[in-house]
Amino acid sequence: MATVGEWVEGARPRTLPTAIAPVLAGSGAAAGVLGFDLLAAVLALIVSVALVIGVNYANDYSDGVRGTDDDRVGPLRLVGSGVAQPYLVKRAAFLCFGVGAVAGIALSLYSGHWWLIVVGAVCLLGAWFYTGGSRPYGYRGLGEVAVFVFFGPVAVLGTEFTQTGRASGLGIGSSVGVGLLACAVLVANNLRDIGSDVETGKRTLAVVLGDRDTRVLYAALVVVPLGMTLVLSLRAWGALAGLLALIVLGPGLRRVLAGSTGPQLIPVLRDTALGLLVWSAATALGLALT
């Protein structure tokens, strides 16, 4: 039986910045147009964190039962390592999805936009079928597309919309930056796993592109959001605070471009997620103060 510590590690807490960042960015955009709502922001954060932890457990379950995680570098896999029964990990995923669904319904009703419940349902389906089901889209090179859509426009603009009733230019720009950096987190993860994914038949975008082009893609996903910072600063000079993320993103970018592989890329995943959080927090604060 898995220990509490192993369940926590299986939730992959290092990925939590991808849950927090969109809510920060969306709330910052809302504050930038004088529409910040604390309760809506808290409910959005609960939804986001619950879904990210849920999708981590769901991926652990689905990859584990397929045998994809039998020989994998990186964080503990509960099913793949054999420390937890698959049905328990699946149950944990559905429990998290349930918490996210309840908070999402509450947020939709509180904001007065019931149709957001439909958007939430689509997010739940996307979370499960990333690696679940008979034809998971994560195995067909579409993971990055889904991450950009769900962590960028959907999460950031959804957060702003529940607070202000509209999507502003500040929100749209922020959603692009968050979406691209969230993709960079996934690309860093899949770059590390190219070898094992090829062996198990998991066709991620990194497998399709190959090692060299995946490194180029990672660099682009990190650099473009910094350019978006300059675009946002034309409307709100405080957005320039987002450039502080380069301090965190720089070391990982150097590792990737230098050709680091395997365990050497584990810090890149951590630094990219932290860079996403720093960019989102600094941008949100800059937009709010401006």
Q: Would you place residue 236 in the very low, low, confident or very high pLDDT band (cuts 50, 70, 90)?
A: very high
pTM score of the predicted model? 0.93
The predicted pLDDT at position 224 comes to 97
Read off the amino acid at residue 223: V
Q: Which residue has the tokens 């529940």?
A: 162
Q: What's the gap between Cα 170 and its chain centre? A: 20
Report how many helices (DSSP H) and strands (DSSP E) the chain contains, helices first.
14, 0
Give the residue with greater pLDDT, 223 vs 193. Answer: 223
Backbone phi and psi for residue 203, each to the nearest 5 degrees, phi listed first? -90, 80
Q: What's the gap between Cα 47 and its chain centre? A: 13
Question: For 34-66, how does the pLDDT look when each residue is reduced to its tens digit (9 = 90+)?
Answer: 999 999 999 999 999 999 999 999 999 998 888
Question: For 110-139, how does the pLDDT look when each residue is reduced to its tens digit (9 = 90+)?
Answer: 999 999 999 999 999 999 999 998 889 988
The predicted pLDDT at position 80 comes to 86
Helix, strand, or coil here: 203? Answer: strand
Cα separation, 188 vs 165, in Å, equals 35
Residue 73 has pLDDT above 70, yes or no: no
Across the range 101-110, mean pLDDT stands at 97
Question: For 172-209, how does the pLDDT look when each residue is reduced to its tens digit (9 = 90+)?
Answer: 999 999 999 999 999 999 999 898 888 878 899 999 99
Average pLDDT over the chain, rounded to whole?
Answer: 94
The predicted pLDDT at position 47 comes to 98
Give the residue with greater pLDDT, 29 vs 133. Answer: 29
Question: Which residues have C-beta within 8 Å of that of residue 15, sequence separation ≥ 6?
Answer: 52, 56, 185, 273
